[in-house]
Amino acid sequence: MPTTATMAARTDAPRMDDPNWWRQASVYQIYPRSFADSNGDGIGDLKGITAKVPYLKTLGIDAVWLSPFYPSALADGGYDVDDYRNVDPRLGTLEDFDGMAQALHDAGLKLIVDIVPNHSSDRHEWFQEALAAPKGSPARDRYVFRDGLGDNGELPPSDWVSVFGGPAWERVTEPDGAPGQWYMHIFAKEQPDLNWDNREVREDFLTTLRFWSDRGVDGFRIDVAHALTKNLEETLPSTADLEAQGEALYLEGRHPYWDRDEVHGIYAEWRKVFNEYTPPRTAVAEAWVHADRRARYASPEGLGQAFNFDLLQADFDAGQFRKTITKNLAEAEASGASSTWVFSNHDVVRHATRYGLPASEDSAGGIMAGQAGKQWLVAGGRQEDVDAELGLRRARAASLLMFALPGSAYLYQGEELGLQEVGCEIADADRQDPAFFRNKGVEIGRDGCRVPLPWTSVGSSFGFGPGGSHLPQPEWFGGSSVEAQEAEEDSTLSLYRRALALRSELQTAEALEWLETGRDDVVAFRRPNGWTSVTNFGAEPFKLPAGEVLVSSSPLEAGLLPGAATAWLQ
Ligand code: GLC
Ligand code: CA
């Protein structure tokens, strides 16, 4: 007799084997430490995720992407990896990982894990070896060590700054106690950059990809995929030199460490490993690159798919949305990939909050992007500056629009609850993000989207676990909990569930056709099967075209689509 589990696996089998499963998938990002805590230590863990598989299944997603769960000192929320082929003991064991993977697969859900190849942590055995080894040694060659400038090497090799603020170089003390060389770190100083010209580094990551693929991982999200290869041979240009070269520097792939053409040689090797498996393992690049260069990461000979953060960086504006969607669909088609859509992740201010802020002029890119959100963080993240109701209303409209687009939709845990970003309510003493510490006084960092999820309306850590919560949850979290929304027909959770269920039925790979709406602030498109999505970005109610309304992000008013709302028709 087959067990229930194997029967479930069999029912889903044809889809699970489909090599193209990722092309139109809805992928739910879990930030493991903040999702569900099984043992009450205040830190979310793998058993916590396993226990929530029924919730994930009911939500209607196709795959789960886990942010890093590897052993780490958490200098950067786990993106500082001590050991790429193990589980942080606070989060569980490899056995727990296997149990979680099995439970997800039994439910017909795919599993994507994060790979962090640009840098290891400073606690990685390789880095410890490099510190103990002399200048010029093979151990140092796995990282980017350079002599300092100045008479005694007391100045950093260049004036480059880390993404999190402060210098991108850190001086080491040599084994004999003398002040020594400097190593490069594009991110925190606990994240030394690896040297991808080193064959051993390359081989080790192939081993890691096979390690997780053999354990049943279906795909990989590649952290800062555009930073790995570097050109540091000549005299290092100053930041001012680099800035003076303007956009061309990026467009021509001449920046010393961002988006160099050689990086694709690495991914061509990875692709061969992915294709050793049936179905082939998939990958999506996190590459904050010029839109014209994104397709290289998404090519079938490379990673296969790349995030486009253009919609995430756009304002809630009909013109910007329409233009961005058109451009990205064309790009994805040209590269042979499918498009990716995302509004929220663990690096940006949640979209329910961003859309409640006044639109901004700033177009700063990078991992803190999302214009208005970034400015709000810089301004101190005061809740009273946010029109939370408007923000949520727009976020629901935007998400519903996204779910009707061809391509994969990436969701971030908590957006299905319409969660707002937690701003200045997190005390400085409780903050964890290196962006806050390295940039002290400039911005409050990314902790506000990483606060553990509220599962229940009351009780210890709102049902996150039987103990506390590693980042404090504000009082108002209870009102947004899963429990509070479960039975509410109009809740954001119910909207997501309904939309994702409809999407599974209706989604196809075929293109969309824009519909004329007669209004600049109303965007409408139809898929070949008649599935139509209409978004009113303005304030004036809009008369919908004929058809049956399948779902709407806000109730229709006298049959009209109100402002800041999306409806689907067929
Ligand atoms: C990526 C991650 C971010 C991390 C950085 C350095 O941008 O998404 O969270 O801080 O890489 O690893
Ligand atoms: Ca725990």
Percentage of the residues of the chain whose pLDDT score is greater than 90: 89
The architecture of the domain spanning 4-119+199-230+256-348+387-501 is Alpha-Beta Barrel (3.20)
CA of 66 to the centre of ligand 2 (A): 16
CA of 213 to the centre of ligand 1 (A): 22
CA of 367 to the centre of ligand 1 (A): 7
Distance, in Å, from the CA atom of 291 to the CA atom of 283, rounded to the nearest integer, reads 18
The protein residue whose alpha carbon is closest to atom 9 in ligand 1 is 347
Phi, psi torsion values for 65, nearest 5 degrees: -110, 125
Residues of the chain with CATH 3.20.20.80: 4-119+199-230+256-348+387-501
Mean pLDDT over 511-528 rounds to 97
DSSP codes, 113-168: EEE--SB--TTSHHHHHHHHSPTT-HHHHTB-EE--BSTTS-B-SS--B-TTSSBS
Q: What pLDDT score does 369 carry?
A: 52
Strands 282-285 and 219-222 come out as parallel
Question: Nearest ligand to the C-alpha of residue 224?
Answer: 1
Substitution candidate for ligand 1 out of 367, 436, 443, 450 with most atoms within 8 A of CB: 367
- For residue 282, the SS3 value is strand
Confidence of residue 438 (pLDDT cuts 50, 70, 90): confident
Residues of the chain with CATH 2.60.40: 511-569
Q: What CATH number has the domain spanning 125-184?
A: 3.90.400.10
Confidence of residue 361 (pLDDT cuts 50, 70, 90): low
DSSP codes, 253-280: T-SSSSS-TTHHHHHHHHHHHHTTSSSP
Confidence of residue 364 (pLDDT cuts 50, 70, 90): very low
Q: Does domain 511-569 have CATH number 3.40.50?
A: no
The residue from 37, 88, 122, 223 that is catalytic is 223
Q: Which is the closest atom of ligand 1 to the Cα of 76?
A: 10
Question: Nearest ligand to the C-alpha of residue 114?
Answer: 1
Q: Is the CB of 37 under 6 A from ligand 1?
A: no
Residues of the chain with CATH 3.90.400.10: 125-184
Mean pLDDT over 343-363 rounds to 86
For residue range 266-281, list pLDDT tens digits in order: 999 999 999 999 999 9
Q: What pLDDT score does 7 carry?
A: 35
Point out which residues pair with 219 in neighbouring strands: 112, 282
Any catalytic annotation for residue 241?
no
Q: What pLDDT score does 8 carry?
A: 35
The overall pTM is greater than 0.75:
yes
Any catalytic annotation for residue 276?
yes
